[in-house]
Chains A and B, each alone.
Chain A
Amino acid sequence: SQKIEQNSEALNIQEGKTATLTCNYTNYSPAYLQWYRQDPGRGPVFLLLIRENEKEKRKERLKVTFDTTLKQSLFHITASQPADSATYLCAPLGSGNTGKLIFGQGTTLQVKP
């Protein structure tokens, strides 16, 4: 069955450093992969989407890579700030028209001042 794995342990880093979160998937060939941010008690918020033919995508301090050979996406936040503290979810999206996202369990990032 399709499986998406994210670091289950929380990631603690110092303000100003780069945070790197990992998303691995198996039994899956997604055409797109999306990343979301979720704060406690709130719904996820869409951050970035990367397509299978794109190696890298950037948006402000965020960078996402997508390696279809390794079946892995990396999500980077550069110059991290305490306000970046949240849970980050990856969600591959298959090709075709289903539009059904399957989410990983999320990685909690804590940025300390």
Chain B
Amino acid sequence: DTGVSQDPRHKITKRGQNVTFRCDPISEHNRLYWYRQTLGQGPEFLTYFQNEAQLEKSRLLSDRFSAERPKGSFSTLEIQRTEQGDSAMYLCASSLGAGSNYGYTFGSGTRLTVV
């Protein structure tokens, strides 16, 4: 297992287009998290899954955002009708349980630029 993988690494899209990102967590991790990070800020929580169940969504996650984790394996994050304010690094992380012993393992992120 090579850790958490995110695809694509970079995405440039025109305003109004839809984009979808993929995250492959560490296979034995049952929890998967999505965060968003802008320059000079720490990661902001968006949502998380335990297995296939989406247990919490941040108020930051507008109706244009949707996340899925079918079969409790990989996850996708879709942003519809992108806006320039959506430009950010989107980070995925996974953990075994609540991450209270070994922390989260993050992927390298997907850098989204909306032009």
Q: Residues on A close to B: CB < 8 A?
A: 4, 6, 31-32, 34, 36, 41-47, 49, 89, 91, 93, 97-106
User: Which residues of B lie under 8 Å from residue A46 when comparing CB positions?
Assistant: 102-105
Q: Does B31 contact A (CB under 8 A)?
A: yes
Q: Are B100 and A49 in contact (CB under 8 A)?
A: yes
Contact between B41 and A44 (Cβ–Cβ < 8 Å)?
no
Instruction: State the Cβ distance, B90 to closest chain A Cβ, in Å.
Output: 10
- Quick check: A99 and B98 within 8 Å, CB to CB? yes
A-B contact pairs, 26 of them (CB 8 A): A6-B42, A32-B100, A34-B104, A43-B4, A43-B93, A43-B107, A43-B109, A44-B106, A45-B106, A49-B100, A49-B103, A91-B42, A93-B98, A93-B100, A98-B55, A98-B98, A99-B33, A99-B48, A99-B99, A100-B45, A100-B48, A101-B45, A103-B42, A104-B42, A105-B40, A105-B41
- CB contacts (< 8 Å) of A100 on chain B: these are 33, 45, 48, 56
Residues on B lying within 8 angstroms of A by beta carbon are 4, 31, 33, 35, 40-45, 48, 55-56, 91, 93, 95, 97-109, 111
20 additional A-B residue pairs with CB within 8 Å, beyond A36-B103, A89-B42, A99-B98: A34-B99, A34-B103, A41-B108, A42-B108, A43-B4, A43-B93, A43-B107, A43-B108, A45-B106, A49-B102, A98-B55, A99-B95, A99-B97, A99-B99, A100-B45, A100-B48, A101-B45, A101-B104, A102-B45, A104-B42
What chain B residues lie within 8 Å of A49 (beta carbons)?
100-103
B36 to chain A, nearest CB (A): 11
